[in-house]
Structure 1
Amino acid sequence: MDLDEIADRLYGLDVSDFIAAREAEARAAKQAGRGDLARQVAALRKPTVAAWAVNQLSRGHPDELAELLELGEELRAAWAAQDADALAELTARRARLSQRLVRLAPSSGAEVEQTLDAATVDADAADQVRQGRLARPLSYSGFAPAPAPRSRPARKPSEEEARARADREAKEQAEATAAYEEWREALAQAVQERDERAVKVATLEKKLAKARKKLAEADQRAEVARREEAHARARLKR
C-alpha cells in the first residue's frame, strides 16, 4: 500500500464519496503503523467538480484523451518551429477534440475546457491530466497556440467581425457564468459537508454529556455502597 495507489483509488471516486474514503484510507494506514502515509493521505485535497470531471475522462476515455495530449505535443513542436500552416491545422483539430472530450465529461464547464487546453500547451499539465489526480482545474498563461499576427493599420471592423466579437464576448460571459455556477456548487457542497459534521459533533457531544451524567450517577452509587459496606463491616466486628 503506497500513496500513489491510494490516490488513484480516491481520485477515481465520485466527489461525494471522497472525504469518507480518504478518512477510511488514512485510518487504515495509521492502524497499520504507517503514520507518515496516514498524514499524506489525510492531506489529499478533495477535487472540485471540474477537476473530478477531467479525472473521470482519464479513466473512462483514455484513448480520446491520449489523442488530444499527443496533438498537444505536435502543437508545441509547431510553435517551436513557428510553422503557421501546421499551427492553424492543429489548433482547429484541438478545438474539435477538446469539444468532444468536454461532451464526454460527466460534468462540463469552462474550467474543464480550460484544463484540457492547458494540457495541450504545457507538458507538465499534460502529465497531471494523464494521471487523473487533479484536485483543482488547470490554466495556462504562457505562449499562445498560434504565431502573433503582424501589426497592421487600425481599421473599422466589418459587420461580420463585429458580430464575431459580440459572439466571443457572449461566449466569455457564458463561460464566466458557468465558472461562477461551478464554484457556487462547490461552496454549497463545502457548506453542506461542514453542516453535516457540525450535526455529528453536536450528536456526539450530547451522547458524551449523557455518558458523563451516567458516570457521575454510578460514582455516587458506588460511594454510597462503599460507605454502607464499611458500616456493615464495622458492625460485623462488634
Structure 2
Amino acid sequence: MDLDEVAGRLYTVPPAEFTAARAAEASAAKAAGDVRLSRDIAKLRKPTVSAWVVNRLAREHPGELADLLGVGERLRAAWQAQDADALAELTQRRGEVTAKVARLARQAGGLSAAAATEVDQTLDAAVVDAGAADQVRAGRLARPLSYSGFAPAPAPVTAPRSEPSRRRGPSGKDAAAEEKARAEAEAREAREASKAREREEAEAAHREWAETLESVTREYDERAEKVARLERKLAKARKRLEEVRQRLQVTRREERHARQRLG
C-alpha cells in the first residue's frame, strides 16, 4: 500500500465521509507499521464539493473529460500559432464539449450554484492551462481550480487573417493602452482570486479541524464515561474485598481459638 493508492481510494469518497475514511486509512497504515505513510495520509486534504464532483468526472466519464482536455490542448497550440481558422473551429468545439461535461457534472444533483460555478471554472482552467489539465485528469483535486492569466479566446479571430494589423500607426497607442489596462485588470483579478483562495483554504482547514475536534471530543467523552463506570465497579469490588478480608481475619481467629481448646 502506498500514498497514491490510498489517495485514489479516498478521493472517491463523498466529502461528508472523507474525514472518517482518512482516519481509518491512517490507522490501518500505522497498524501495519508504516508510520510515515500514516502521517502522509493524515495530511491529505478534504475535497470541497466542487473538487469532488470534478474528481468523479475523471473516474466516471474519462472519455468525455478526455475530449474536453484534448480540445484544450489543440486550442492552446492554435493560440500559440495564431491560427485564426483553427481557433474559430476549436472555440466552437470547446463550447459544445464544455457544455456536455458540465451537464454530466450536474446529473447527480445537489450541487449548489456556487459549487456549480466552481466546477465550470475548474473545467475552464483545465482547458487553458496544461498543469490544471493534468490535475483534473488525475482526479485528486482538493480545491477547485481557476485561471486568471491570458487564456485562449475567440478574440483573435474577429479580424480576417488577410487584414493588416491595427496595432500600427495612429491606433498603436490605443492598442497599447488597451493592452496595459487588460494586463492591470488581470493582475487585480489574480490578486483577488489568490486572496479568495487563501480565505477559502483557511475556512476549509478550520471546518476540517472543527469536525476532527468534535469527533475526538466525542470519543474522549465516551472513553471517559467508560473509565468512570469501570472505576465505580472497581470501588465496589474493593469494598467487597475488604469485607471478605475482615471476615477472613475473624474466621482465622475463631478457628485458632477452637484449635487451642482442643489441646
TM bracket (short chain): 0.7 to 0.9
Retained in 1: the 8 A contact 2:91–2:154?
A: no
CA-to-partner distance for each residue in 1:109-147, whole Å, 9 max, x for gaps?
A: 000011111111222211111111111111122222238
CA-to-partner distance for each residue in 1:42-78, whole Å, 9 max, x for gaps?
A: 2222211101100110011000000111111112212
Shift of 1:4: 0.9
Retained in 1: the 8 A contact 2:19–2:212?
A: no
Report the equivalent of 2:80: 80
Shift of 1:11: 1.0
Shift of 1:97: 1.4
Aligned with 2:123 (options 91, 116, 124) = 116
Question: Structure 1 residues 233 and 59, CA, compared in 2 at 3 Å: closer, same or farther?
Answer: same
What is the TM-score when the length of structure 2 is the normalising length?
A: 0.66
Report the equivalent of 2:228: 209
**Local SS of the residue matching 2:7:** helix
Shift of 1:237: 4.8
Retained in 2: the 8 A contact 1:88–1:146?
A: no
Retained in 2: the 8 A contact 1:111–1:137?
A: yes
211-220 or 141-150, larger mean C-alpha shift: 141-150
The reply to whether residue 24 of structure 1 matches residue 24 of structure 2 is yes
Matches within 5 A, 1:71-220: 71-105=71-105, 106=108, 107=111, 109-146=116-153, 198-220=217-239
41-50 or 11-20, larger mean C-alpha shift: 11-20
Aligned residues: 208
Report the equivalent of 1:222: 241
Which stretches in structure 2 are left out of the alignment for 5+ residues?
157-165, 175-200, 258-263
Identity %, equivalent residues? 55
CA-to-partner distance for each residue in 1:189-227, whole Å, 9 max, x for gaps?
A: 867786566555444433332222222333333344345
Larger of the two Rg values belongs to structure: 2
Retained in 2: the 8 A contact 1:26–1:38?
A: yes
Cα RMSD between the aligned structures?
A: 3.2
12-21 or 134-143, larger mean C-alpha shift: 12-21
